[in-house]
């Protein structure tokens, strides 16, 4: 239950809001003008303010300024007539949480109020942020289980395998395990197994001596040696060649290795965490991944759900990235409008959390006010209309009328839609998506850049 101040000079509107909010379980205090509202606000403690913009004695914008002056973190929702959107935008720039346009729908106002009450009103420095664990942001039940598993396995030496689609945060989970382990003060070394050619992988992992091969003008330590005493994270381990799989298995079993071109063994003490966006069990069945290595790696298995499987985290993640990007870019963007948030909630996010971060970062960089509005989102028009981009939907047939159509635009939208569907079916892997469309990797990468799609790695050719 929250205590809400309602300020509106129309008796019918005050009564309507009072009845609605009390049915929702809230305590409601009403004021007939801005001055009365300010007096009540100064003499009591409220969780939320709903104020009409046009009021006698003291207007809504002036009331908003007074409220923000005394309580900067107070959520204020402004109510505006349909014909005055300019006032609503001015209110948002002045620090209002959101605005409602008359006449509004019950579902709409309930959603906006619910989101506003979920917004923290206590400054961040006064309390620990909820839902954040070692830079992982979530309050979904599935992720809470993963947070607990991270705490449990952190204190052990057990090898951990993390699975999940691209962009779900596998490296963040690996870092969290390291941070919650006795090795936290020791090195955390990471390598992307899909980004290094096979002929260089052995040298990267185990190092080499001078003269071991053409170009080896000096000796070099490998990543295992650099991670001694700490943790090594092998990302996209499913891309390792059979030869390197054998050598990695030996290191895990014997806790020692040889540099390329050397005859002496080097003992090493590392905690091994690996990650993959592939189904390694299926890879083992197909003979593409060694079964004995799989079981050595998969002592504890953590599977990260896709963002579309935990959509309740989208508002929390969006706000987290908003604050982070605002700090990093030196901007004063403070919130996301409920309409913009609704668009994000309806999107399928084939690129998962990484794609959401990219969308928010671009919106913050381009936004000219202190709130992200729907037009600030770098999303295609059909996303703004509520379609879940990348979902397995039928493509609507086009009907030519006497008014004609823009053929180039329609074909472009069709191509983009099919590209996103292919990326979704291939879990964001560009080469696999290209195979579904009979396109080369280079063509797919060019089209992804052409349409400004984010969240897909153009370095992965699996």
Q: What is the percentage of the chain residues whose pLDDT exceeds 90?
A: 30
The alpha carbons of the chain give a radius of gyration, in whole angstroms, of 27
Q: Which of 95, 125, 155 marks a domain boundary?
A: 125
Q: Is 111 helix (H, G, I), strand (E, B) or coil?
A: helix
Distance CA 278, CA 163 (A): 7
Question: In this structure, are 367 and 403 located in the same domain?
Answer: no
Q: Is residue 169 within 8 Å of residue 351, measured between CB atoms?
A: no
Q: Is 144 helix (H, G, I), strand (E, B) or coil?
A: helix
Q: Which of 92, 31, 111 lies closest to 376 in space, CA to CA?
A: 92
Question: In this structure, are 381 and 401 located in the same domain?
Answer: no
pLDDT for residue 128 is more than 60:
no
Is the bond preceding residue 74 a cis peptide, omega within 30 degrees? no
Q: What's the chain's average pLDDT?
A: 82
Residues in the chain: 462
Residue 324 forms part of a structural domain: no
Q: What is the pLDDT of residue 155?
A: 80
Question: In this structure, are 119 and 15 located in the same domain?
Answer: yes
Question: In this structure, are 260 and 142 located in the same domain?
Answer: yes
Q: What is the pLDDT of residue 388?
A: 39
Q: What is the pLDDT of residue 456?
A: 55
Mean pLDDT value of segment 73-82: 81
What SS3 string covers 285-308?
Answer: HCCCCCHHHHHHHCCEEEECCCHH
pLDDT for residue 83 is more than 60:
no
- Structure confidence by residue, pLDDT tens digits, 403-430: 666 777 778 778 877 887 787 677 677 8
Q: What is the pLDDT of residue 119?
A: 61
Residue 326 forms part of a structural domain: no
What SS3 string covers 390-447?
Answer: CCCCCCCCCCCCCCCCCHHHHHHHHHHHHHHHHHHHCCCCHHHHHHHCCCCHHHHHHH
Question: In this structure, are 371 and 261 located in the same domain?
Answer: no
Residue 323 forms part of a structural domain: no
Write down the H helix ranges in 330-406: 338-345, 352-366, 381-384
Question: In this structure, are 342 and 385 located in the same domain?
Answer: yes
Question: In this structure, are 238 and 166 located in the same domain?
Answer: yes
Which phi and psi (to 5°) does residue 401 adopt? -115, 180
CATH of the domain at 36: 3.40.50.2300
441-450 and 407-425 helices, crossing angle to 10°: 120
Distance CA 322, CA 335 (A): 7
pLDDT for residue 126 is more than 50:
no
Q: Which of 346, 370, 389 marks a domain boundary?
A: 389
Q: Which residue has the tokens 């599977």?
A: 303
Q: Which of 125, 147, 167 marks a domain boundary?
A: 125
CATH of the domain at 432: 1.10.10.60
Which phi and psi (to 5°) does residue 40 adopt? -65, -40
Residue 308 forms part of a structural domain: no
Query: pTM to 2 decimals?
Result: 0.59
Here the tokens at position 434 are 């290209």
pLDDT for residue 397 is more than 50:
no
CATH of the domain at 274: 3.40.50.300
Question: In this structure, are 266 and 234 located in the same domain?
Answer: yes
The boundaries of the domain holding residue 461 are 392-462
From the number of C-beta atoms within 10 Å of its C-beta (0-12, 13-18, 19+), residue 217 rates as: exposed
Question: In this structure, are 19 and 71 located in the same domain?
Answer: yes
CATH of the domain at 381: 1.10.8.60
Question: In this structure, are 420 and 342 located in the same domain?
Answer: no
Instruction: Kindly indicate the confidence band of residue 401, based on its pLDDT and cuts at 50, 70 and 90.
Output: low
Question: In this structure, are 77 and 180 located in the same domain?
Answer: no
Q: Is residue 37 within 8 Å of residue 56, measured between CB atoms?
A: no
Mean pLDDT value of segment 332-340: 82
Question: In this structure, are 369 and 400 located in the same domain?
Answer: no
What is the Cα 122 distance to its own chain's centre?
A: 24
Quote the number of domains for the chain: 4
């Amino acid at each position: 239950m929250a205590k809400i101040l309602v300020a509106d000079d129309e008796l019918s509107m005050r009564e309507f809001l009072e009845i609605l909010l009390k049915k929702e379980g809230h305590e409601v205090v009403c004021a007939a003008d801005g001055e009365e509202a300010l007096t009540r606000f100064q003499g009591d403690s409220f969780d939320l303010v709903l104020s009409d913009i046009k009021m006698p004695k003291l207007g809504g914008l002036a009331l908003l300024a007074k409220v923000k002056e005394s309580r900067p973190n107070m959520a204020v929702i402004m109510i505006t007539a349909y014909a005055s959107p300019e006032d609503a935008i001015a209110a948002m720039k002045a620090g209002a949480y959101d605005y409602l346009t008359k006449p509004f729908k019950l579902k709409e106002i309930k959603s906006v109020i619910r989101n506003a009450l979920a917004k923290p009103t206590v400054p961040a420095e006064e309390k620990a942020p909820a839902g954040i664990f070692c830079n992982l942001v979530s309050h979904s039940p599935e992720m809470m289980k993963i947070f607990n598993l991270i705490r449990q396995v952190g204190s052990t030496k057990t090898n951990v395998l993390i699975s999940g689609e691209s962009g779900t945060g596998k490296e963040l989970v690996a870092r969290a395990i390291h941070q919650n382990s006795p090795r936290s003060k020791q090195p955390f070394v990471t390598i992307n197994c899909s980004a290094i050619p096979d002929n260089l992988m052995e040298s990267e992992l185990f190092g080499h001596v001078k003269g071991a091969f053409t170009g080896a003008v000096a000796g070099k330590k490998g990543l295992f040696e650099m991670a001694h005493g700490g943790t090594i994270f092998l990302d996209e381990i499913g891309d390792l060649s059979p030869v390197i799989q054998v050598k990695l298995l030996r290191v895990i079993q014997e806790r020692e290795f040889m540099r390329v071109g050397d005859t002496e063994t080097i003992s090493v003490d590392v905690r091994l965490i690996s990650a993959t966006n592939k189904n390694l069990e299926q890879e083992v069945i197909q003979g593409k991944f060694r079964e004995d290595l799989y079981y050595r790696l998969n002592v504890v298995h953590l599977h990260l759900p896709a963002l579309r499987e935990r959509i309740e985290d989208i508002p929390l993640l969006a706000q987290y990235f908003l604050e982070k990007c605002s700090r990093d870019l030196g901007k004063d963007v403070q919130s996301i409008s409920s309409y913009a948030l609704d668009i994000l909630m309806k999107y399928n996010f084939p690129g998962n959390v990484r794609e959401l971060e990219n969308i928010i970062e671009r919106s913050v960089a381009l936004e000219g006010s202190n709130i992200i509005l729907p037009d600030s989102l770098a999303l295609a028009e059909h996303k703004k209309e509520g379609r879940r981009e990348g979902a397995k939907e039928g493509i609507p047939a086009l009907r030519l009328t006497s008014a004609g159509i823009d053929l180039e635009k329609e074909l472009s939208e069709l191509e983009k839609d099919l590209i996103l569907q292919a990326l979704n079916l291939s879990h964001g892997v560009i080469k696999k998506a290209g195979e579904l469309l009979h396109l080369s990797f280079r063509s797919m990468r060019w089209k992804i850049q052409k349409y400004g799609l984010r969240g897909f790695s153009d370095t992965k050719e699996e």
